[in-house]
Amino acid sequence: MVPTVETERLNLIPPSVESFPVYEAFYTDAEASKMYGGPIGREQVWARLKADLGSWYLMGFGVWVVQEKATGELIGSCGFWKGKDWPRELTWWLLPEARRKGFAQEASIAAIQYAFEALAWDVVETYMNDENAAARTLVERLGGQKVRRLEFPDGLHRDIYQFTRLS
């Protein structure tokens, strides 16, 4: 069973069929999804949603869909992802209209705390493409420390940032 996590302004809820419209809106928007392998077609979006839900059952962790409490709207996703032969990472994405409101930071803090407290992880890491300045800024704001640089299965090199328990 996928847990729900609550913050002051957000609910982090399990991915479901009802999540498809927010996934589709994000992943078919070329500008919004460019740092996440987009844009992609509807069938690929469906596969991505199924993979996000399946991660919870295969690995015991995954991403949540981010729901704004005030409106009930689904605005993105946040949680943990691990592709085949890729390092596990904290990840998030938000629809363009939900950005610059502190939602990514609030959701990420909740996810990191969940990893340390509920999953008993010793370390939480994340990475991003070098040109993703917005993600790097958020990671540094959250206290992420660059610990190494790796070559990934796609041939790109990325910095790995590590989080310690948030106070």
For tokens 């704004």, the residue is 68
Instruction: Determine, yes or no, domain membership for 132.
Output: no
This prediction has a pTM of: 0.96
Give the pLDDT confidence of 40-72 residue by residue, as tens digits.
Answer: 999 999 999 999 999 999 999 999 999 999 999
| Residue 28, SS3 per DSSP | coil
**Chain center to CA of 144:** 15
Give the pLDDT confidence of 72-95 residue by residue, as tens digits.
Answer: 999 999 999 999 999 999 999 999
Give the pLDDT confidence of 110-151 residue by residue, as tens digits.
Answer: 999 999 999 999 999 999 999 999 999 999 999 999 999 999
Instruction: Determine, yes or no, domain membership for 13.
Output: yes
Structure confidence at residue 166 as a pLDDT band (50, 70, 90): low
d(CA 85, CA 132): 22
Token pair of 110 as six digits: 């909740």
Instruction: Determine, yes or no, domain membership for 149.
Output: no
Do residues 149 and 155 touch, judged by C-beta distance below 8 A? no
| Residue 64, SS3 per DSSP | strand
CATH code for the domain in which residue 55 is found: 3.40.630.30
User: Which structural domain range is residue 22 located in?
Assistant: 5-122
Token pair of 19 as six digits: 């999540």
